Amino acid sequence: MGSNNELAGSSRQGQSRRVFLEWGFKAAIVPAVVGIGLSASCNNKEDEEDVTPPEDLMREHGVLNRVLLVYDHFLSMLSSGQSMDPGLLSAAAGIIRSFIEDYHEKQEEDYLFPRFEKAHQLTDLVTVLRQQHQAGRTITAQIMLLGKQPQISSEDDRRKLQGLLSSFNRMYRPHEAREDTVLFPALRKIVSKHEFDSLGEDFEKREHQLFGENGFETFVDKVSRIEQQLGIFELAQFTPRV
């Protein structure tokens, strides 16, 4: 009888010990798994927020394209004899000057073009792109000068502005398209992965220094407000009736 009690007690102790060990194992493994999951989630979030140098430059081209649309609308107003608000012209040209010319193009000139020239790759294209940057700055300076007037009413000024806007748009649409489809995709071929990643950090650092934490978003908002004032913000209006 005593032997049976001892066996039963031993069995209960063994069972309790197994339960304790299983519980301890689960208690240890669950936080570890959760921790791994949280870490992966955080890493995924960081990966999603990372923007590569070409993507960064292409997003900025999106801002440029929206100003080109604004310039298209100004051209339409000039052609139809409508009066223009010089303040909106100045605001649009100001986005080109501060965000595109003084920031975006400087990024290309300081970080991208020299690397292609050093690697002896696409040097003819880089030469033309540099020349077009300079031509664009000259045009922008003249547009901003016209935008300072209370009214753009004289026939000479309206004709001059029409020529400037047309020249700017005609140059920059193929300019940005060539960069997006030829220059930017070739960047990975001439720099190491480490250098490629460092470029992204350099771009972000300069953007924050010049415009704060939300520089890109700030300029998207600025061009959106101009579009709204001109009545060209709603995307649906550009859908053809077919």
Tens-level pLDDT at each residue, the chain (242 residues): 544 444 445 545 555 555 444 555 444 444 444 444 444 444 444 444 578 999 999 999 999 999 999 999 999 999 999 999 999 999 999 999 999 999 999 999 999 999 999 999 999 999 999 999 999 999 999 999 999 999 998 999 999 999 999 999 999 999 999 999 999 999 999 999 999 999 999 999 999 999 988 899 999 999 999 999 999 999 999 999 99
Residues 65 and 39 in one domain: no
Same domain for 38 and 83, yes or no, is no
Based on the fold, state whether residues 79 and 178 are members of the same structural domain. yes
26 and 82 share one domain? no
197/105 same-domain check: yes
Nearest Cα to 100, choosing from 227, 225, 220? 220
The owner of tokens 């009214």 is 151
Residue 133 contacts by C-beta under 8 Å, 6 or more apart in sequence?
101, 105, 108, 109
Judgement on whether residues 45 and 92 belong to the same structural domain of the protein: no
Give the range of the structural domain holding residue 30, as residue numbers without chain letter: 1-49
Question: 225 and 188 in one domain?
Answer: yes
Q: Total structural domains in the chain?
A: 2
Q: What is the pLDDT of residue 50?
A: 74
Same domain, 73 and 174: yes
Residues 93 and 158 in one domain: yes
DSSP string, the chain: -HHHHHHHHHHHHHHHHHHHHHHHHHHHHHHHHHHHHHHHHHHHHHHHH---HHHHHHHHHHHHHHHHHHHHHHHHHHHTT----HHHHHHHHHHIIIIIIIIIHHHIIIIIHHHHHHTT-SHHHHHHHHHHHHHHHHHHHHHHHHHTSS---SHHHHHHHHHHHHHHHHHHHHHHHHIIIIIHHHHHHHS-HHHHHHHHHHHHHHHHHHH-TTHHHHHHHHHHHHHHHHT---GGGGS---
One domain for residues 175 and 148: yes
Indicate if 36 and 56 belong to the same structural domain: no
Same domain assignment for residues 64 and 42: no
Task: Give pTM, 2 decimals.
Answer: 0.79
CATH of the domain at 127: 1.20.120.520
